[in-house]
Amino acid sequence: MSDQPYQGGPYEGHDPYQQHPEQQQQPAPQAWPGHEQYGRQAGYDPQSTQQWQGQTWETQTHAPVQAAETAYLPPLQEQQQPYQQPQHAQPYAEPYAHSHGPQAQQQHYTPAAPTAPRPAPAPEAAAPEPSEVSGPAYGPATLGGNARITDAQRARLEGRSPIIDPGMQPAALTALLGLLLAVAAPVGSWALLVPLVLLQAVTAAGWFRLNGMWPARQGIALAFAGGLAADAAVLVAGREHAPAAILGPLGVWVLLSLVMQLRSHASPDERMYGLMATVASAALAILATGYLGADPDAVSVGAAAVAVAVLARALPLPTPASVVVALLAAAGAGIAVGGMTGLGAKGAVLGAAAGVCALIGHRVAAYDYPSRFVHFTAGVALPLSAAAPVVWILGRTLG
């Protein structure tokens, strides 16, 4: 076969496979097997096409390929149809065999065969049923994201009880604070003011945390300020005017709580939650001032009954038995302290009533999966704060 380029046809005068001067000195390799079959193939079969791998074509030592040289390649949009061999491909078989062998395949440019048509994507598998999924189920993706699930919500989904009692340590702190109130009441109003202020501060902070609102510095400060205002009013007006001195600040602080929430930039739901929490916290802190306005003997009996009832309630007993033991212990403490103060047997009634209020406050502090912080704030203060109105009312009635 001659090395002269092919004469005639649309490529007359131009040999796309012309060798460079530095390549003409090399011996012509033998034809690589299967080239005649490729040149004479009537149709293109993607699965039978041979794939060659070798070194890449160095563009720095070869002339760039013109568009006319790749005119035999089929258009991309016709890849789905069988490849038809051009009529002028047959005469190129022998020159191509002389100039392109197995060794030259690694040094020269190889016309790229059209890629096989991409298979159609498989239909998406059906999503498994919730019962088939072993892992945790997740909600759909959202632009804003999903809020983090709280410990209370997780426990509720797991079916656990929402009641978690504070335990013995908070009960011991409650008993200590109750004993301080019982001992300071006979001394005087100013001595009673110290443990009372501590009780009001813990009540304001614990109630907000019990409602899941933290930090809520403005609400806590407002509720605590309400308690201080009620204390100051009782000290100025005296115990005989204690009802007016307590109810007056209570109404004013409800109005202040409403104004504070109206000035908030939170959503309407959050403002409503904040309003209810602030009003309840301020009411509890202000009503705790009842210890300051009640008879000192009644304060001693009531505070001692609360301390004993909470300690009995924290004992490792079944709930019904624990409640009965706590009430009996409160009544017994009322009788004992009432005999020392002058109330006598009437102290049993006051002690039992204070014990009931203490158990209610203890139960509230244990509701809705409270945290350790709630146990050491609301769990300590709510039994005493809830018993303050009863001590004030029964103290005036029985005395």
Which residues 6+ apart lie within 8 Å of 54 measured at CB?
105, 106, 110
pLDDT higher than 90, residue 22: no
Residue 64 has a pLDDT of 56
- The pLDDT tens digits for 143-162 are 545 556 666 677 778 887 78
How far is residue 64's CA from residue 335's CA, in Å, rounded to a whole number? 111
Residue 10 has a pLDDT of 47
pLDDT higher than 80, residue 13: no
Cα torsion 358, 360, 365, 367 to 10°: value is 160
321-to-316, 363, 379 alpha-carbon distances in Å: 10, 15, 20
How far is residue 178's CA from residue 387's CA, in Å, rounded to a whole number? 11
pLDDT higher than 70, residue 141: no
Higher pLDDT pick, 82 / 285: 285
Give the mean model confidence (pLDDT) for residues 176-196. Answer: 94
CA end-to-end span of the chain = 134
Least confident of 53-67, 235-249, 306-320: 53-67
Tokens found for residue 379: 């769990």
Core vs surface per residue 367-392: b (16+ CB within 10 A) or e: eebbeeebbbbbbbbbbbbbbbbbbb
Residue 289 has a pLDDT of 94
By the 8 A CB rule, do 227 and 285 touch? yes
325-to-161, 307, 346, 356 alpha-carbon distances in Å: 23, 13, 20, 12
By the 8 A CB rule, do 162 and 368 touch? yes
Cα torsion 351, 353, 356, 360 to 10°: value is -120
Least Cα distance to 37 among 96, 125, 112 occurs for 96
101-to-35, 90, 95, 276 alpha-carbon distances in Å: 10, 18, 11, 90
CA angle 151, 380, 382 (to 5 degrees): 90
Report how far Cα 276 is from the mean position of its chain's Cα atoms.
Answer: 24
Answer left, alpha or beta for residue 167, where phi above 0 means left and psi between -120 and 50 means alpha. left
By the 8 A CB rule, do 322 and 355 touch? no
Q: For the chain, what percent of residues have pLDDT higher than 70? A: 61
pLDDT band at 261 (very low <50, low <70, confident <90, very high): confident
Residue 199 has a pLDDT of 95
Residue 215 has a pLDDT of 64
For 225, counting Cβ atoms within 10 Å of its Cβ (0-12 exposed, 13-18 middle, 19+ buried), the class is middle
pLDDT band at 184 (very low <50, low <70, confident <90, very high): very high
For the chain, give the mean pLDDT: 75
Sign for the CA dihedral angle at 226, 229, 234, 237 comes to: negative
Residue 48 has a pLDDT of 52
Greatest pairwise CA separation for the chain in angstroms = 136
- The pLDDT tens digits for 203-215 are 999 998 888 776 6
